[in-house]
Amino acid sequence: MPTADDQHQDSSKSSANPASNPANGPQGGSRRAARLRRNHPGDGPPPAGVLVLDKPSGMSSMTAVSIVRRKAGLKAGHAGTLDPLATGVLVIGVGKATKSLDRFMKTRKGYRTEIDLSAFTATDDREAELEPVEVADPPSPDAVSAVLAEQFTGEFMQVPPDFSAKKVQGRRAYATARKGESPKLEPRPVMVHEIELESYEWPIATVRIACEKGFYVRSLARDLGRVLGTGGHCASIRRIAVGPFTIEQAVDPDDLPAETPLDRFIPLQDALRMLDSTP
């Protein structure tokens, strides 16, 4: 299972077999060349732009990148993975902007998640079977808010989910977890600037988070349940901001034209200025 914010990915480095993709045949190559000539006619600086995509649930981050790469006719990469079930802001760089993606990864992130306190799961979301927890006396909204404020604000230690791409002795944690073994992940420091209980109706707590790179929303759900004496897993995760780029700016992949012109992207220099003006 991919994780949030582990690394940026450049689709030009994919190890997939090019011959297995019809778009890589003679006609596909001609179409890509035509798009490249349109987006980079040969005079002026090399093309570079940023697109704020609203990734739908069920789509991997790399699939989203591949769609943009194909439609723009330019190499592309993203600035921080979203889990397949998660939705929301996926910042994609095309052309020369792929070289600046690390800068976008280091920015503050915003999330809104629905946490189901009635059960745990092996993946800390709804990709795995529910493990219900009997709760005779569900916590009050005040109790949930107090725990969020007291234990999950500022810098604290967090253990990544077992089903994550973190490496333990050179092996991805999810590969070990899929065998039914514990990957024995170590806690690491994370930073949460703001956390708020937006709504609560047992067993669903809707929580908004502003955090730094490396924070796992699924781990928050798991740990919140443990502290409260309930279950805890993410029923949904939506990324609402990456630095200055918000969900209001994001476009649905289906709304991109088949041949997406570069003027649909934020010019790289404008995107970097936006980044520099963000706290």
Q: Which residue has the tokens 């703001």?
A: 194
Q: Which residue has the higher pLDDT, 80 or 170?
A: 80
72-91 pLDDT, tens digit each: 889 999 999 999 999 999 99
Catalytically active residues, by annotation: 83
Average pLDDT over residues 165-173: 81
3-state secondary structure the chain: CCCCCCCCEEHHHCCCCHHHCHHHCHHHHHHHHHHHHHHCCCCCCCCEEEEEEEECCCCCHHHHHHHHHHHHCCCEEECCCCCCCCEEEEEEEEEHHHHHHHHHHCCCEEEEEEEECCEECCCCECCCCCEECCCCCCCCHHHHHHHHHHHCCEEEEECCCCCCCCEECCEEHHHHHCCCCCCCCCCEEEEEEEEEEEEEECCEEEEEEEECCCCCHHHHHHHHHHHHCCCCEEEEEEEEEECCEEHHHCECHHHCCCCCCHHHCEEHHHHHHHHHCCC
What is the model's pLDDT at position 262?
A: 75
d(CA 95, CA 269): 13
pLDDT score of 261 more than 80: no
Inter-residue contact 64 to 55 (CB < 8 Å): yes
Contacts of 186 (CB under 8 A, 6+ apart): 159
Which two tokens mark 44? 């002026």
d(CA 195, CA 198): 9
User: At 159, is the pLDDT very low, low, confident or very high (cuts 50, 70, 90)?
Assistant: very high
Domains of the chain and CATH, by start = 9-107+245-276 (no CATH), 109-241 (3.30.2350.10)
Most confident of 176-190, 217-231, 250-264: 217-231
Average pLDDT over residues 234-239: 98
pLDDT score of 116 more than 90: yes
* Residues 113-149: b if buried by 16+ CB within 10 A, e if exposed: bbbbbbbbbbbbbebeeeeebebeeebeeeebbebbe
Q: Which residue has the tokens 């189901």?
A: 116
d(CA 26, CA 148): 56
CA angle 194, 196, 197 (to 5 degrees): 165
pLDDT score of 14 more than 90: no
Which two tokens mark 124? 């800390």
Inter-residue contact 259 to 42 (CB < 8 Å): no
d(CA 177, CA 220): 19
Looking at the chain, the whole-number percentage of residues with pLDDT higher than 70 is: 84
- Give the phi and the psi of residue 11 in degrees, each rounded to 5: -65, -15
